Chains A and B, each alone.
Chain A
Amino acid sequence: MSRIYLVPIHLNAPEWLGRLRACIEKTFGIRAKCCSFPIDLPAAFDPARNQYSSSLILQQLIANPPADARKILGITDVDLFIPILTYVFGEAQLDGIGAVVSLHRLKNRFYGLPEDNDLMVERLMKESVHELGHTFGLFHCAWFGCALNASTYVEDIDQKSCELCPDCRNAIGLA
Chain B
Amino acid sequence: MKPADIGILIVDDEASVRDSLCKWFRLDGYRVDTADEGASALRKLQDDSWDIVLLDIKMPGMDGLELQRRIKQIDKDIVTIVMTAFASVDTSIQAMKEGAFDYIVKPIDPDDMGHLIRNAVQHRQLLTENLNLRQQLAEMSYSDEIVGESDAIRQVLARVATVAQTDSTVMIRGESGTGKELVAMAIHGNSNRRYFPMITINCGAYTEGLLESELFGHEKGAFTGAMYRRRGKLEMADKGTLFLDEIGNIGRKMQMDLLRVIESRQFTRLGGDKQIQADFRIISATNRDLEQAVREGSFREDLYYRLNVFSITLPPLRERKSDIPLIARFFMNRFARSMNKAVTDISPETLDMLMKYNWPGNIRELRNVIERAMVGAKSSRIDPGDLSFPFHPSPGAVEDESLEAVEKNHIQNILSRTGGNVSQAAAILKISRLTLYNKIEKYQLKKG
A interface vs B, CB < 8 Å?
A: 49, 55, 81-88, 91-92, 94, 134, 139-140, 150, 152-153
Contact A84 B28, beta carbon cutoff 8 Å: no
- Does the CB pair A94–B16 fall under 8 Å? no
Query: How many residue pairs at the A-B interface have CB separations less than 8 Å?
Result: 61
- Chain B residues with Cβ below 8 Å from A94 are 23, 26-27
- Nearest opposing residue in chain B for A92, CB measure: B27
- Contact (Cβ within 8 A) A91 B23: yes
Q: What distance in Å separates the Cβ of A87 from its nearest Cβ neighbour in chain B?
A: 7
Instruction: Flag if A152 contacts B111 (CB, 8 Å).
Output: yes
- B17 sits at the interface (CB 8 A): yes
On whether A84 and B3 interact (CB within 8 A), knowing A94-B26, A134-B27, A139-B27, the answer reads no
With both beta carbons as reference points, the residue of chain B lying nearest to A88 in the complex is identified as B110
| Contact present for A84 and B107 (CB under 8 Å) | yes
- Check B127 for interface membership: any CB of A closer than 8 A: no
Please give the distance in Å from A165's CB to the nearest CB on chain B: 15
Q: Given that A55-B16, A82-B24, A83-B17 are contacting pairs, would A140 and B29 also be in contact in the complex, using a CB cutoff of 8 Å?
A: yes
Query: By the criterion CB–CB under 8 Å, are A150 and B23 in contact?
Result: no
Question: A140 to chain B: which residues have CB within 8 Å?
Answer: 27-29
Contacts of B404 in A (CB 8 A): none
**Which A residues are CB-close (under 8 A) to B20?**
55, 82-85
Tell me the chain B residues, 289-336 only, with Cβ under 8 Å from chain A.
Answer: none
**Given the known A-B contacts A86-B107, A86-B109, A152-B111, are A139 and B23 also in contact in the complex, defined by CB atoms under 8 Å?**
no
Cα A91 to Cα B27 in complex, Å, equals 10
Indicate if B39 sits at the interface (CB-CB under 8 A).
no
Interface bracket on B:
20 to 34
Contact B110 A152 (CB under 8 A): yes
Q: Do B14 and A83 touch across chains, with their CB atoms under 8 A apart?
A: yes
CB contacts (< 8 Å) of B113 on chain A: these are 84-85
> How far, in angstroms, from A86 to B23 measured CA to CA in the complex?
15
* Interface contacts beyond A82-B16, A152-B110: sample of 20 additional A-B pairs, CB < 8 Å, sorted by A: A49-B107, A55-B19, A82-B24, A83-B14, A83-B16, A83-B19, A83-B106, A83-B107, A84-B17, A84-B106, A85-B107, A85-B110, A86-B107, A86-B108, A86-B109, A87-B110, A134-B27, A139-B3, A150-B27, A152-B114
Please measure, in the bound complex, the distance between the C-alpha atom of A3 and the C-alpha atom of B110, giving whole angstroms. 32
Query: What's the least CB distance linking B5 to chain A, in Å?
Result: 13
B138 located at the interface, meaning its Cβ lies under 8 Å from any Cβ of chain A in the complex = no
Question: What residues of chain B have their CB less than 8 Å away from a CB belonging to chain A?
Answer: 3, 14, 16-17, 19-21, 23-24, 26-29, 83, 104, 106-111, 113-114
B-chain residues with CB within 8 Å of residue A55 when the two chains form the complex: 16, 19-20
Q: Do residues B16 and A150 form an inter-chain contact, with CB atoms below 8 A? A: no
Contacts of A83 in B (CB 8 A): 14, 16-17, 19-20, 106-107
Residue picked from A55, A86, A88, A140, most chain B C-beta under 10 Å: A86
| CB of B36 to closest CB in A, whole Å | 14
Q: List 9 A-B contacts (CB under 8 A).
A: A49-B107, A55-B16, A81-B107, A84-B107, A84-B113, A94-B26, A139-B26, A139-B28, A150-B27
B27 adjacent to A84 (CB under 8 Å): no
Check A150–B114 contact: CB distance below 8 A.
yes
Bound CA span A175–B28, Å: 22
Interface of A: prevailing SS = loop
Chain A residues with CB below 8 A from B26, complex form: 94, 139
Instruction: Evaluate contact between B106 and A153: CB separation under 8 angstroms.
Output: no
Q: Chain B residues near A150 (CB, 8 Å)?
A: 27-28, 114
Closest to B28 in A: A140
5 nearest CB pairs, A to B: A82-B20, A139-B29, A152-B111, A152-B110, A83-B16
Instruction: Evaluate contact between A84 and B24: CB separation under 8 angstroms.
Output: yes
Q: Complex Cα distance A91/B21, Å?
A: 12
A91, B26: Cα distance in complex, Å: 12
Report how far A140 CA is from B83 CA in the complex, Å: 24
B112–chain A nearest beta-carbon distance, Å: 9
Q: How far is the CB of B16 from chain A (nearest CB, A)?
A: 4
Of chain A, the residue at the smallest CB distance from B109 is A86
- By beta carbon, the residue of chain B nearest A93 is B23
Compute how far the CA of A87 lies from the CA of B111 in the bound complex, rounded to whole angstroms: 10
A139 to chain B, nearest CB (A): 4
Q: Return chain A residues, CB-CB under 8 Å to B27.
A: 92, 94, 134, 139-140, 150
Q: How far is the CB of A141 from chain B (nearest CB, A)?
A: 10
How many whole Å from B185's CB to the nearest CB in chain A? 39
Q: For the complex, what is the distance from the CA of A134 to the CA of B23, rounded to whole Å?
A: 11
Chain A: which residue is nearest B114 at the CB level?
A152
Residues from chain A with Cβ under 8 Å of B23 in the complex? 82, 91, 94
The distance in angstroms between the C-alpha atoms of A139 and B108, with both chains bound, is 21
**Residue among A49, A85, A91, A140 with most chain B CB within 10 A:** A85
- Most A Cβ at <10 Å: residue of B17, B21, B24, B110: B110
CB of B32, distance to nearest CB on chain A (Å): 11
Residues in A with CB closer than 8 Å to B29 are 139-140
Task: Note all chain A residues with C-beta closer than 8 A to B24.
Answer: 82, 84-85
